[in-house]
Structures are given as C-alpha cells and as structure tokens.
A and B are shown apart, each in its own frame.
Chain A
C-alpha cells in the first residue's frame, strides 16, 4: 500500500527527518509516535506531497487521489455549512451537487451528526467539527487514511468515542490507516503496528512494534488485553533509551504523553 524509504527532509538548512523508512500494508492500522516537534507531521505532509523530500522515496501502490488526509485542526470552510463542506470533495471528483449533498448527509449520519448538515462550523462543538472533517475525508472512500493528531484538541470522553467510531468504520471497510500521535496508549489501542520516531532534528525511526491484539477491537477493552501493559512499558523504555538519550532526565519528557 505505502512504503517510505530513507526519507530525508529539511526546512531550509535545518534538517528535520533523516532516513525514515516505514511501511503500511493493505488494511493495516499503523501509528507513528514520537515527541512533539520530532517531525511526525512532516512525514505525512511528505507522503501526500505538501512537502518535497530532499532524499528518499515514497512508494504507493494506489492512486494519490485514493489517499484521505485528516488534519490536526478542523480547518473546515467557515462559510460553508457542514454538509456543503463534506460534499466539496465529492463535487471536486465530478459528482453532481444534489447527489453529493445526499451522500454528504449520509456520511454525517454515519458519524452521528444526523440533521446537523445545515449548521455552519461555528455552530458546532469541537468534537462535532472533527466528525464533519472526518466525514469529509471518509466520504471520498479513501483506501489509505492519513491522520495528523486528529483528536489532540478533544476532551478524553469525546476522544474515546470518536476513536471507537472511527475504528469501527476503518475495520468495516478494510481501510489502511497511518495515524500520527504523541499518545502512546491511543496508538496501542488502535494500531496493528507502531513506529517510533526519534527526537528531532534529524529524526529517524527508532523502533517498530507489532501489536498482537485481535480485531475487531474495543478501544477500552484493548487496554485490558494482557499484551497491552507489557508492550506499553517496553515502548516507553525504548523511548527513554533511544529517543531521549539519557534515561531519567525528567524534563526531557516534555511533550510526550502517556495518556493516563
């Protein structure tokens, strides 16, 4: 589905990424975790082509248009109603407006926003806006979904419910996902495979961890799976050794959340 090989990228003369290699298989849910500012988002931006890499390649077995990108913030068009925002991508793919609007409202319903399609983004809560943004991306039925800390700004309950709804949709549609997050527990509960990005500058992949929890999953029950705790601890330890450098230096952990 997606293979990133030795990706390197700089902002001007500042190196951000160096030798990032990772893979997303067909139907696989992969997370990329790492400290804030390590360049996790940059990896996604390079995959979608918003940022040109200075070296390395991004190999895709699918068309670029089959990639959906969910941004960190819910940058919906403020002058368009929720359903119009969702319909925009469909219309850009040549669907007639009436059909696109019907489809958009179906997707809003699927994401628990039945009857809110006529609202403007400012009339929706943060969680609802996130759901609209998700509907906007999922309505295009992507084969690969890239998500950049999509739930970072939400409260814990909204976040858990949205993650669960998303997981159900992803599992049901055999979609591949690459999720960027700094929340290790979230990554463990959702993914089949976790890549660890080292601290920037010159961030690289510092480890890869398969998650042997069976699907379909319940994100709350997944946390009680016998493999969950030990794996969390192992990643956490490797993180302190490989990413942060010296273990035990408290302030170095800043920006990394274990989501307790």
Chain B
C-alpha cells in the first residue's frame, strides 16, 4: 500500500530499501500511520504517575507530577468530547483539597506549636474523648492537611489525564474477550444517552404543536411516556440487529473449566486488591505490595484467558502494542520505580516533616523519574484525526 506506481523492477528495489529504512525508523517516525495510541498504554502511564504521586506529600514533587500530566494532555489530547476530562478532574481535585482542609480545621489535628487561630471548642461528653471539634488551628497541621489533600488531588488528575487521552470506547474494545458482553452494554448505554435527548426534544416540539404547555407532573406523562416508548422500541430494534449479526455466538465449554475460570478470576481480583492497597499505603510491608499485585494480576489474566475460550470472537484492527506504546508505559513506570527506589534509599524529601515547618526541597531521583514521564508528549502520535472533526 505504501508502494507507488512504477515498473515492477524499480518498485521491488524501492520496496526493499523502504523496508530497511522502515524497520529502522518505524518506532517513532512521524509519518507512521497515526492511528491513536493503544488506550492501555495511556492508562499504564497515568497509573504509574499516580502511584508515584501517592507515595509522596512533597508539594514540589506533586506539583511536578501535575505539570507533567497537564503538559502531556495539552500536547496529545484530541478534539473528541472526552478530551475535556482533565479539566473536570482538576476541579474535582480542588474540591478534595478544600474538603480535606475544612475537615482538618473543624475536627482539628492539634499537633505543632505554631497556632494560627483558636476556634471555639465544642464541649463533648466524656465517651467521645479523642474527638475534638474546634480548638487551635496550627500551621503545621494545616500544611499537613493541604499536602495530603494535594496528594489525592494529583492522583485524581492522573486518572483524569488517562480519561482525556484514551478513547473510552476503544479502551472497552481492548478489554479481554471474556468481558466483551459487559463492554458492549457500556458502549450501547453511552450511545443511547444522546438519542434520548434527541427524542425528548422531538416529542416536546410535537407537544407544542398541540398547543400543550404542560408543566410539572403532567410533563412526565406527556413527554416521558413517548420518549421511553421510543427508547424501548430502539433497544428492541438494536437487539434484533445484534442478534442477526451474530452477537452472542458461544463455543461449548465443559463445566469444570467454567468453575476453574470463576475461581481463578475471583482469587486474582482479590490478590490485585490487596496488592494495590499495599502499594498505595506507605505503611504496609513491601511484601504485600508489588509481589501480591503481580500474583493477583497473573491469576486474573489466566482466568480471563480461560474465559475467553467461551467467546469465539475475533477483533478487527485491534490496537497494537508497539514501541510507542511500550515507551509511553515505561515512562510512567519510570516514575514509580524512581519513587520506590528513593524510598528504599531512605530519601526524607519524599515525605518532608511538617514539624518543624521547613521549606521542602525537591528529591532528585523521584524528580528525574517523574520528568521521564513527560516523554509521551513527543513519543505518542499526534491525534490530528482528520475527517471526523471536519464533519
């Protein structure tokens, strides 16, 4: 397909040289067919950054993570509707910081000596000892609360970045075959919402034609009923179409395999939950962190592979895992590894002490790791997806 016209001999020769240069240039060549990056790569990258952020309360490092994620989103997001997710998650993060701070002021932390203001303290009965409402607000406590909120907000921002960069529908398409039915349900729901709005608008216009200006409960009857009937008709038509097109063809699987599949999936998910907890919670032993996560993931993957035998589907032009995807995922992983390594080396700048208050300094190794995660801003293909935006 990349060959131009020309006499056969010349074309062959051209093809061979093209092949060689291709193999050499392929990974990051700008003219490489710019189908979008595998959504899984973006999620791995974002989760890597997020995990790195969750292990630190250093505002400088957290700010760096935020800047890196924001920069990559700005450089590589598309014009599609989901691309605004980053902004939404940033706002959500601000709310989280605000709540965390207010909670701290109201319920007090009470450590540190730099009292900024003393709120009136509500007297509580004896059994509530340990809980306090009001009282002195210290600078140290406030800083601890804000940085803690900031950590959560940055984690949210990383999730937002993944949402903004990866097409959610394509991510669903990349799910394992065993989860296919779930992903179809989600996709259908996603496309039904706009249809409902169109349908409601149509019916309301038709109501005006009858001179009907119903308000309140009567609107439910005159607008909602036809809209729901319409939605029901549509779903039945869609179900019939999907059935006609082979949806739900299954291959026979013996019951023993089915039970093994279910057991492996459950155990795997449990293992992954424990592993993620261990990894995000800095206080838990190293052993139940990464190793548990890997074990759980392996079990779950095995279960999914087994389950996939039930679904004879194949996939058209699946998103492939190539050098670019690996580079993007690795750059995210670099951030985690750097932070974990710094932790193991006992870098105190990761969680700077708040009492006494000092200006934190940027931990060198984690900063380098987080900076590596800015790589996708150049490595990932530019999402100038052509005709859709024009239409």
| Chains A and B belong together in one complex | no
